[in-house]
């Protein structure tokens, strides 16, 4: 299986916008509904820092296994490394509010190294590439 450079076309969200971009850095906005989620994945050479604008989201991480709940004004960083954590982002199931959630992602990467995304099946750690 081959990794893919950009997996955003493989999952549906309410809104995707890029607010700024230059070599090695991007600021993007993502808005997901209560029924949408970002699939399990990892990046070979990217650090993502999430800032929650509105709503509630959960990040699921592996290596180490962790669930992070975030609300408006919260930030969380996933550090880039070869065996980086896989993350899935979704609205909390127990949330009384079924409204959408919006995040700003500050994404950094080293231009000198290849940057790839692998989609993964969390039940058996098999990469899913389409």
Domain map of the chain by residue range? 8-122
What does pLDDT average to over the chain? 75
Residue 68 Cα distances to 25, 65, 76, 77, 102, angstroms: 24, 10, 9, 11, 16
pLDDT computed for residue 36 by the predictor: 82
What fold does the segment set 8-122 form as a domain? Jelly Rolls (2.60.120)
- The pLDDT of residue 1 is 45
pLDDT tens, position by position, 77-97: 987 653 333 455 666 655 555
Whether residue 11 has pLDDT greater than 90: no
SS3 label, residue 9: helix
Q: Report how far residue 117's alpha carbon sits from residue 1's, in angstroms, rounded to the nearest whole number.
A: 12
Placement of tokens 């940057």 in the chain:
115
Distance CA 116, CA 70 (A): 26
The pTM score is: 0.74
């Amino acid at each position: 299986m081959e990794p893919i450079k950009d997996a955003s076309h493989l999952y549906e969200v309410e809104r995707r916008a890029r607010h700024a971009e230059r070599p090695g850095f991007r600021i993007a906005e993502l808005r997901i509904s209560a029924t949408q989620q970002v699939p399990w994945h990892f990046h070979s050479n990217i650090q993502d820092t999430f800032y929650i604008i509105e709503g509630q989201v959960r990040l699921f991480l592996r290596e180490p296994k962790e669930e992070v709940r975030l609300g408006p004004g919260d930030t969380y960083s996933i550090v880039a490394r070869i065996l980086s954590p896989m993350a899935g982002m979704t609205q909390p199931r127990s949330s009384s509010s079924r409204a959408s959630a919006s995040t700003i992602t500050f994404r950094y990467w080293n231009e000198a190294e290849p940057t790839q995304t692998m989609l993964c099946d969390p039940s058996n750690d098999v990469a899913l590439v389409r």
